[in-house]
Amino acid sequence: MEKSTASKFNKVARIYNTPIFQFYYLFAHKSCINFIKNTIKDNYKILDVACGTGIFLKKINKIKSGLHLSGIDNSEQMISIANKQQDVISFGVASAEKIPFEDNSFDLVTIIDAFYYFQDKKAALSECSRVLKPNQYLFLFYPAFDILPKFILKQIQITSRLLFFNLEEYSALPRLSEVEKIATENHLKTIKKKMLGMHRFILFKKI
């Protein structure tokens, strides 16, 4: 994730958990959990990449017993808040392009609404594959703005510059075929995917 993105989230970390920020994630997190819940088993080791303040992991922790949960994020302030709010989940400051865990460490890696922020998406998927155990899973959730015509995307970007969460990063989103190609090159096979509204859900298995 770019340093500018980390700086941006550092600035809003103290209000990130407020209803105005989290309203969108009520839908997003519920939809993500419904998509992957049958994949998760008791005692799974799960890593959430770009975890923010850890809200998604806290929700995941309620669906199975004995889960071992970790989260990383480039924003020091986000991680500071995550650590203050609980003591069950392990949080640390790190980037998706350089995940600080051993090979074959996790049963599930999740990237929730953050893939477009990663400066080097190939490196991020390579790192996710590296830390996954064989035959285990990577889940991506992100807005499918890559399917929009360029002139519409451009108008959205211009308008969004007035807001905190500008959409400049969306212009760098690769198309689904490119994401799956990068995944395949890193031993990740698509086993399940869907579109819901303008959002894409993809579950990969490390082979």
State the average pLDDT for the chain: 89
Per-residue pLDDT reduced to its tens digit, 43-95: 999 999 999 999 999 999 999 989 999 999 999 999 999 999 877 899 999 99
% of the chain surpassing 90 pLDDT: 66
121-148 mean pLDDT? 93
Would you list the DSSP string of 56-113?
HHHHHTTTSSS-EEEEEES-HHHHHHHHHH-SSSEEEE-BTTB--S-TT-EEEEEEES
Task: Pick the closest to residue 64 from 83, 38, 88, 85 (CA basis).
Answer: 38
Q: Where are the domains of the chain?
A: 3-206
pLDDT tens for each residue of 146-179 = 777 666 666 666 555 545 455 555 556 788 999 9
CA atoms within 13 A on the CB side of 195: 8
Task: Say which CATH superfamily domain 3-206 falls into.
Answer: Vaccinia Virus protein VP39 (3.40.50.150)
The highest-confidence range among 12-16, 20-24, 49-53, by mean pLDDT, is: 49-53
- The pLDDT > 70 percentage for the chain reads 86
Query: pLDDT grade, residue 207 (50/70/90)?
Result: very high
Distance CA 70, CA 56 (A): 11
Contact criterion met (CB below 8 Å) for 139 and 34: no
Amino acid letter for position 94: A
